[in-house]
Structure 1
């Protein structure tokens, strides 16, 4: 400061000698040294990130993503089979050279690292397994990429390419999915992500309504032969129903998209989520108040009855009986913990944990799941009966619905009811009648699942996770059941829509034998692209002001959602492989 003051004094006096110039250079040098010292001190206070492990993880993720992208023509072809050159890659010279190169890089980084590194702390066996995996994936990527070249030899019996035509609905689905992925780069869009899905879902309902109008009103005018030009599918068939049935079917199909919009609007008012409007009162708070316990009791009873009517139609007689008793146990559990009332029960009655009632429901959940699994295994191994397989899948789905109805709070039962009702109407009057293909149906299920995740009251904030469900039916905290119950309750919306997708595509196997394979691929790609993009965004924005309050919780949600989707895709693949084995 003193040197700067002397320089200013000489400058104001009009001194133009060499002394002024030298003093100015000295002051400038001191300022630059001070800025460098401040920058060094600030960097020491910043968070230290394990960049080597982060980069290694991103490499693994993007290798898997590129395999999915390059396999798209074969995965969506008529055979829905992807030939991955695994053995040829493992026995190739580039594979061993890459292993040596990556192992050398790992040794070099770990021996020269100044701070602790997670990847370097792993055992050498795990490290070399990761190195071998990355090298093999790189060789597979090179092999798949060479197939896509114009001069690459064609694989006999497989159509790896083709001219793809996109309908208006296809453009909407692709643009919406890509737009949502790009929106994750902004913290405000992450905080209010539910608004993005609400907008996309409303737009989807309007687009579906447009397709319904095109189908039925053009058929009514006698242009049934031109229907395929306007529908998203290429294999639509003329209807053979009577005029009365056609009329009722037409009006129910026309009413389904507006009814879906109404349900979604009501569900938005049930639970306020996000950041900007989370403090506002909603219908859920009104129902949970002690003054409206009677209303909540009537609503819960009505929802449980409606759940039974929507789910039981494809179950066996034993499963129907178990489902009815299980739903009765759900109401008994909510009455025991004090959320609802029986008609003969007084409001001043002391509450309990409801452990006995919850375990009563768990017995029927396990029974229904066991019955469905037994039927599914019989259809896969012994008889190859499509009806038995469809019933087994639906009973597994029914068991999950019963479990979710137990875990949901009483005021969230309308969310489950609307979920089942929309699934029933869309499957009966939209997806089947308009002959949407597996890819379109999968993306619609994915969008609905994402929207219902937020209809439950969830957000990208850890504070909205309902920890109380980890104690349902338990006397004390047990880690493994608590994790499973919390995950099922939090991701009930996406999980139920994914399970319904399995049931629906399995029932459509006669019309499209490779529907399950296409659905599995599309679901895996839908979850992989946002997850991979978000990993890059979080890495780039690791010094962002909201990295720990906004971006990191979202990364945790994305990771858990990706894990559940991987489980569903594994179930897809198991069913497809079993079907191929029994068919051969």
Structure 2
């Protein structure tokens, strides 16, 4: 540290020497300002709210020493807000609109008395205007001042009473003294005492006004803050309680898995809670908030390794089974799971190295920097290849349906057309400067319309079309070839169609969202989007296997962690500087704050929203036929089994993080980094909360709408069959 301080001393000395040389050559006067951002304790800690950490240096070095003709009080303590006011008045520019600083008196020693008082007057006008904004009743006309001018000099009134009267009195006292001094200056009878009295009156008003405004901006009603925090904690506890209740119901309902659920908590389940605890604790450290992406990458990679370990264990256990055919099938499933998890781990490692992120190690090289240095042509090739792969993956997953229907073919063709529109835009407007002309804007608008129409049509129409193909779907069992069809078959039919409908909708959601992000995100993020898509689909295939030995809430938490890790893998951070503002104007022909804000939200939370869209497909692969087919089925119970975990898990995690961040923000309100670290982080948490509620709403609306349509058609069909049987 001593060598570093000596180095900085030499830098300041060199700058000051050059300033003196310029001054000797009559090249103007220069003020050298040396300030530090924070202090440090004896043990080296910095960034806290202790006196040693908040005490910092403000050194003003002029070309020569100016000796004042007046005896002024010397203040060795100033506030950071005072620097902006002082520099503005020294440069002769307007004071920042909402600045509440006070002029540093020692900085105007080189000015004349008239210039110094004028600077104090401008500073007083600034604070008086801010006071009027906070106190609408503040008007000096309502509070007549007792100060007046006589032949023997000005008479100053005693200031007391309400805030409005107090500030008005202080301001009028200073203004009266200033007018007196100027009147005396005309006849050249002003004295040092009159100047000092006027300066003291101005400083009295400025110090009182600045202190009150600073408290007004930071003081909050304790009762309201406590009520808000208590409400957040209560909401968090309710959501977590509901999650445990549903988990307990699953334990009692799924008889075949009782042994799996009654065992002590497994390693992956313990790690999920440990990961949430790590996140909550890390929020109290400014450095951990700045480097939060490392925590999410750690959670994602570790849970993948735990899944990999469990898949290996199941692979070994299956060898003890006596039936060789069963051994082969189970080992094949375990082998597929292992391959998919390896693919997920590899993709996650590439995503971690794509953007360095954070604050402390942004100077280290990453993949995106290498590609940008290599040239735009490589980035364009990767972008086009990623688009083609996303289209192929979407069509591949679409045709994984158990029932190959013409509806799936039509939907696949629609996704292909949307993807070709994106490819056409990329091929035609590879130059970034050409992507903002009218032709490019029109092509983007056509894509917006096509993608929106395709997605909305699929979601609204698909449940009405899929049941018409039930006979073809069930023909392999020859159920409809017989004259008598059991009642259980009619009950199972809507469940099969619900499963396939949600599968198709989830595929359309995921593919459409990825195509939209390819168009909006920076070109360098094309490969991360593809890798996120690969990870999501690999998880879907791994979790769909009958050999999956994970609880649903563990799998959904793993998907949630994947979405948050992807959020940082796309170049986002907890600082506002990483928000992609340029992408928020793609496809907008005229300025619209609302549309730009929506697009900015879509770009920033691309990965978390992709997680919620994947939940629709996840629900389809977790639909259990047998428990849903009962003699007196309850729609509420069915919907709870479908939506319980997918909705409560993200809501609970987000509620825990939101409550913890709120508590940390209240506790850290006096921290030095409250505005640069903790406040931006809280803005991101609030926006993430909106993302969670929007995502949960989309999932709930999709599933409930599909369920209502299918089971309404089923009942209508059963009524028609009953009528025909009665007629015969």
Please state how far the C-alpha of 1:367 moved relative to its aligned partner. 2.4
- Partner of residue 462 from structure 1, selected from 561, 571, 576: 576
Are 1:260 and 2:344 matched, yes or no?
yes
2:460 corresponds in structure 1 to 374
> Which structure: larger Rg?
2
Please state how far the C-alpha of 1:202 moved relative to its aligned partner. 1.8
**Higher alpha-carbon deviation: 543-552 or 39-48:** 39-48
1:49 corresponds in structure 2 to 219
Are 1:208 and 2:378 matched, yes or no?
no
SS of equivalent to 1:76: helix
1:549 corresponds in structure 2 to 676
**What do the CA deviations read for 1:275-295 (whole angstroms, capped 9, x no partner)?**
012233432233234x52222
Classify 1:410/1:392 alpha carbon distance in 2 versus 1 (closer, same or farther; 3 Å). Answer: same
Please state how far the C-alpha of 1:253 moved relative to its aligned partner. 2.4
Task: Give me the whole-angstrom Cα distance separating, in 2, the residues matched to 1:377 and 1:553.
Answer: 43
2:504 corresponds in structure 1 to 391
1:506 corresponds in structure 2 to 620
1:307 corresponds in structure 2 to 390
Task: Give me the whole-angstrom Cα distance separating, in 2, the residues matched to 1:80 and 1:482.
Answer: 47
**What do the CA deviations read for 1:155-189 (whole angstroms, capped 9, x no partner)?**
xxxxxxx9784111100111111211221111111
Are 1:188 and 2:287 matched, yes or no?
yes
Are 1:287 and 2:287 matched, yes or no?
no
2:542 corresponds in structure 1 to 429
**What do the CA deviations read for 1:450-502 (whole angstroms, capped 9, x no partner)?**
10001001000001010112111112321222122111111111110121122
Are 1:411 and 2:507 matched, yes or no?
no
Task: Give me the whole-angstrom Cα distance separating, in 2, the residues matched to 1:241 and 1:364.
Answer: 47
Contact between 1:80 and 1:518, CA under 8 Å: does it hold in 2?
A: no
Contact between 2:293 and 2:565, CA under 8 Å: does it hold in 1?
A: yes
2:237 corresponds in structure 1 to 66
Task: Give me the whole-angstrom Cα distance separating, in 2, the residues matched to 1:67 and 1:436.
Answer: 24
SS of equivalent to 2:299: helix
1:158 corresponds in structure 2 to none
**Which aligned pairs between 1:132-531 and structure 2 lie closer than 5 A?**
165-220=264-319, 222=320, 243=328, 249-289=333-373, 292-315=375-398, 316-339=408-431, 352-353=436-437, 354-375=440-461, 378=464, 384=494, 385-386=497-498, 387-430=500-543, 432=545, 433-510=547-624, 514-531=641-658
Classify 1:379/1:451 alpha carbon distance in 2 versus 1 (closer, same or farther; 3 Å). Answer: farther
Contact between 1:75 and 1:521, CA under 8 Å: does it hold in 2?
A: no
Classify 1:208/1:378 alpha carbon distance in 2 versus 1 (closer, same or farther; 3 Å). Answer: same
SS of equivalent to 1:188: helix
Please state how far the C-alpha of 1:249 moved relative to its aligned partner. 4.2
**What do the CA deviations read for 1:45-64 (whole angstroms, capped 9, x no partner)?**
56523235433432332332
SS of equivalent to 1:324: helix
Classify 1:377/1:541 alpha carbon distance in 2 versus 1 (closer, same or farther; 3 Å). Answer: farther
Task: Give me the whole-angstrom Cα distance separating, in 1, the residues matched to 2:325 and 2:503.
Answer: 25
Contact between 1:379 and 1:389, CA under 8 Å: does it hold in 2?
A: no
Classify 1:219/1:246 alpha carbon distance in 2 versus 1 (closer, same or farther; 3 Å). Answer: closer
1:564 corresponds in structure 2 to 691
1:540 corresponds in structure 2 to 667
SS of equivalent to 1:552: helix
Contact between 1:380 and 1:579, CA under 8 Å: does it hold in 2?
A: no
Which one scores higher on RCO, CA 8 angstroms, separation ≥ 6? 1
Task: Give me the whole-angstrom Cα distance separating, in 1, the residues matched to 2:514 and 2:466.
Answer: 23
Contact between 1:273 and 1:457, CA under 8 Å: does it hold in 2?
A: yes
Classify 1:557/1:165 alpha carbon distance in 2 versus 1 (closer, same or farther; 3 Å). Answer: same
Give the gaps of 5 or more residues in structure 1: 1-33, 82-161, 225-237, 341-348
Task: Give me the whole-angstrom Cα distance separating, in 1, the residues matched to 2:299 and 2:335.
Answer: 24
RMSD: 3.4
Contact between 1:323 and 1:402, CA under 8 Å: does it hold in 2?
A: no
Contact between 1:372 and 1:394, CA under 8 Å: does it hold in 2?
A: no
The alignment covers a number of residue pairs equal to 444
Contact between 1:337 and 1:352, CA under 8 Å: does it hold in 2?
A: no
Classify 1:576/1:552 alpha carbon distance in 2 versus 1 (closer, same or farther; 3 Å). Answer: same
TM-score w.r.t. the length of structure 2 is 0.56
Classify 1:68/1:239 alpha carbon distance in 2 versus 1 (closer, same or farther; 3 Å). Answer: farther
Task: Give me the whole-angstrom Cα distance separating, in 2, the residues matched to 1:553 and 1:274.
Answer: 13
**What do the CA deviations read for 1:246-299 (whole angstroms, capped 9, x no partner)?**
66544332233333222222222221210012233432233234x522222221
**Greater than 6 Å deviation, 4+ residue runs:** 39-43, 238-242, 379-383
Please state how far the C-alpha of 1:325 moved relative to its aligned partner. 2.8
Please state how far the C-alpha of 1:442 moved relative to its aligned partner. 1.0
Task: Give me the whole-angstrom Cα distance separating, in 2, the residues matched to 1:68 and 1:350.
Answer: 49
Give the gaps of 5 or more residues in structure 2: 1-76, 78-203, 253-260, 399-407, 469-492, 628-637, 716-728
Task: Give me the whole-angstrom Cα distance separating, in 2, the residues matched to 1:248 and 1:580.
Answer: 34
**Which aligned pairs between 1:65-104 and structure 2 lie closer than 5 A?**
65-78=236-249
Task: Give me the whole-angstrom Cα distance separating, in 1, the residues matched to 2:695 and 2:420.
Answer: 29
